[in-house]
Chains A and B, each alone.
Chain A
Amino acid sequence: MACVPGPVQSIERAAAILRLLARGSGRLGVSEIAASLGLARATAHGILRTLQGVGFVEQDEETGKYQLGAALLHLGTSYLDVNELRSRAINWADALAARSGEAVRIGTPLDGRVLVVHHVFRPDDTLQALEVGALLPAHATALGKVLLAFDAGAAAALQETGLEPFCRRTITQHRELGRALAEIREMGWASEVEEFTVGEAAVAAPIRGQGGLVVGAMGISGAIERLCDPRGRPKPTLVTYVRDAARAVSRDLGASRW
């Protein structure tokens, strides 16, 4: 039988620090915090630094004292501003478009759909229009399926609605979608082959922030003959480009393990 681990001590201590800061006037120094909780100064400092890294506490530059961070007040809303996500991803999105020769888009979840927050044209200098701000269906696109696969809440919310068919190959059954999402979690990337637009395919991978939280999806899309092999499967080199680019952005955002 697997052993059930007990409570994680450092998390308990972190919670105590947050409670302490929430309680009084708000601003406390490391020594005060350490003394209040009976912790070694170094221990308290280590926890505070971590909490500061995730934005749950802030340190006053002049006094060095700590207080609750703004991020705690906005826990429910998205922690990464979409415009900031674009800024942080723009270099890697460009490099992905240049390597793959395809258009790149970055999507974030918005009310059960995918909001396109960044778009890089296919590098062939043909006339293309900027699609930033467009909304895409989550179940019928690679970007959307990535976002659903790594957000159990969003996937569950979709259960309540019908899955609109766009093409012959659109996933319209919830059970089938569930299987597809499990597979995406397993592989770490998603594909879309004529599920939203006839003749078009796409590949996408998750962008992760601190702690591995998925904050967006990044991928390429284009003509099926270019993206897929003759058997209709995405070309492995393109999949690698997409995953590497998404990983590079994740690393810049502070996701250490991916």
Chain B
Amino acid sequence: MMVERYVMSIDQGTTSTRCILFDHGGRLVSVTQREHKQHFPRPGWVEHDAMEIWRNLERIAPEALEHAGATPDQVAALGIANQRETSVLWDRHTGRPVGRAVVWQDTRTDSLVSELNARPDADMVRERCGLPIATYFSASRVRWLLDNTPGLRERAERGDVLFGTMESWLIWNLTGGPGGGLHITDVTNASRTLLMNLTTLAWDDDLLAFFGVPRAMLPEIRPSTETYARASRVLPGVRIAAALGDQQAALFGQTCFAPGEAKCTYGTGSFLLLNTGTEPVRSTHGLLTTVGYQIADEPAVYALEGSIAITGALVQWFRDGLGLIASAPEIETLARTVEDNGGCYIVPAFSGLFAPYWRSEARGIIVGLTSYITKGHLARAVLEATGWQTREVVDAMNADSGLALKALKVDGGMTADNLLMQFISDVLDVPVIRPMAAETVSLGAAYAAGLAVGYWADLEGLRRNWHRAAQWLPGMDPVRRDTEYDNWRRAVERTFDWIKPGGR
């Protein structure tokens, strides 16, 4: 018998899939990563090829083992974190996806969403599932696919076509696919569909009826940590022991286990999550109520979430769409060529605006352009957009909780950007702290899986692994902060009502 030395995590993100092996100290041992293609077939549409993502996993998981000189029997457990809400439909018998996966940033359902919002029973939705009806979540997208693919609804009603977010798709494939694959999801992912009742943690018949989604196509809802099954493919014999939405995984990886603890993860978008304990808290300031995690059969822990759709994706657009930089980190180099934004602001409402506004019809703008503006100023404005959007969700969080945030724990790829981290600290006027694990999403998935199989004993032990890796302290003149914030808010207002109802 080999000693089980590692826990493996898979982070199936919006831009790439990562596989990481962690040791008992929660330290990274090996990491492999592969990007997948972003398909933008029409303005506002964003799609992924689920098959490509599965093939990427087939490749990077064995590679991660190889880099560490490890074998599957040395892996105590596998934990999966995933981009949330992105919806895949596939044929149970062939394992082939039905079209491409529709990504969380996709806005094709905007008119459907306005229709649904106009229904007299629309208020019931938020009450039951904690979410506003928006293009962001899965249900309206599934409904759209069922409405727009001939014959699909019948196949779905017969259970021949399955729905899942990315963790469902990967677990189904890892456990045998068409040959007996397990069709499950976890509570955190299910809490993002608009279809799960937040209190019972089960699919809600009224919500299913409201969105017209047949129950037969839905996965079974399970806790976030539990040995679901052993993998039969790619990592034969390895226990699949945790699944969480990536943002919830980061909350777990930051060891925010107590009510009042919060983190913000900076990737494609950015997401501030606050642990609110075992009772769901309703927001009155544009935040979402969501499940944070559920450990085995313990009561679920809830969270308030401030979701920002576009942060790192704006940097990505600056690189790929405009070609002004060759790599994302060069945004910092370019931004440092100037002292300030020169009066320029970019509001990246590419997919409308998420928290705290929830305006699907808003679209992005650049304001304050004069002949003075150089690409350096634009680079500043790109980074500052992330800072101000954070400020808006923090303000909402403070208003909802009645407490003022004292420090912000951060993680994700953008935390490598010192100029940005300093700016966030400046505009929030609190210290910003990065823990010693930038890949907190992966760490959280690993923690959850390791906990499920007894590789780690308890939450307290995990907490002791948390250490501060870097800290930025606020240093902005308060008058300047206020003027800049005011300018930002005026810029945001100018994005509203861009898409006219019923047309584009």
Binding site for B on A (CB under 8 A): 70, 81-84, 86-87, 90-92, 94-95, 97-99, 119-121, 123-125, 128, 130, 132
Say whether B124 faces chain A, with CB atoms less than 8 Å apart: no
**Smallest CB-CB separation from B435: which chain A residue?**
A94
Q: Which residues of A contact B220 (CB under 8 A)?
A: none
Report B6-29 CB contacts with A as 1/0, cut-off 8 Å: 000000000000000000011111
Partner of A90, one of B25, B326, B438, B467: B438
Q: Which residues of B contact A98 (CB under 8 A)?
A: 25-27, 436-437, 465, 467
Task: Please state if A83 and B27 are interface contacts (CB–CB under 8 Å).
Answer: no
CA distance A119 to B470 in the complex (A): 8
Name 8 interchain pairs, CB-CB below 8 A, sorted by A: A70-B326, A83-B417, A84-B329, A84-B330, A91-B31, A99-B25, A121-B467, A123-B436
Q: Could you list which residues of chain B lie within 8 angstroms of chain A, going by C-beta atoms?
A: 25-29, 31, 326-333, 413, 415-418, 436-439, 465, 467-472
CB distance from A128 to the nearest CB of B (A): 8
Report how far A81 CA is from B417 CA in the complex, Å.
13
Given A84-B330, A91-B28, 8 more A-B residue pairs with CB atoms under 8 Å apart are A83-B330, A84-B329, A92-B28, A94-B436, A97-B467, A98-B437, A120-B436, A125-B468
Question: Which B residues touch A120, using CB under 8 A?
Answer: 436, 469-470
Establish whether residues B467 and A81, one from each chain, have CB atoms under 8 Å apart when the complex forms.
no
Interface pair A132/B326, CB less than 8 Å apart? no
Q: Which 7 pairs from chain A and chain B are nearest by CB?
A: A123-B467, A83-B329, A84-B329, A87-B416, A87-B329, A83-B332, A95-B28
Q: Which residues of B contact A121 (CB under 8 A)?
A: 436, 467-471
Please, how many angstroms separate the alpha-carbon atoms of A169 and B413 in the complex?
40
Q: Give chain A nearest CB distance to B5 CB in angstroms.
A: 15
Residues of B contacting A70 in the complex (Cβ-Cβ under 8 angstroms): 326
A34 to chain B: closest CB distance in Å? 28
Task: Tell me, in angstroms, the Cα distance from A87 to B312 when the chains sit together.
Answer: 13
Contact of B27 among A82, A99, A124 (CB under 8 A): A99
- Contact between A81 and B416 (Cβ–Cβ < 8 Å)? no
CB-CB < 8 A to B26: which residues of A? 98
| A130/B470 in contact, CB under 8 A | yes
Complex CA–CA separation, A95 to B68 (angstroms): 14
Determine which of A86, A97, A125 lies in contact with B416 in the assembled complex, contact meaning CB atoms within 8 Å: A86
Q: Measured between C-beta atoms, what is the minimum distance from B6 to chain A in Å?
A: 13
Q: Within the assembled complex, what's the spacing in Å between the Cα atoms of A86 and B471?
A: 16
Closest chain-B Cβ to A53's Cβ sits at a distance in Å of: 15
Q: How far is it, in angstroms, between the C-alpha of A128 and the C-alpha of B431 when the chains are bound?
A: 13
Docked Cα-Cα span, A82 to B471, in Å, equals 20
Closest to B436 in A: A94
In the docked arrangement, what's the CA distance between A92 and B437, Å? 9
Chain A residues closer than 8 Å to B25, beta-carbon distance: 98-99
Q: In the complex, what residues of B have CB within 8 A of residue A92's CB?
A: 28
Residues in B with CB closer than 8 Å to A86 are: 329, 416, 418
- A124 contacts B418, CB within 8 Å? no
Give Cα A98 to B415, complex, Å: 18
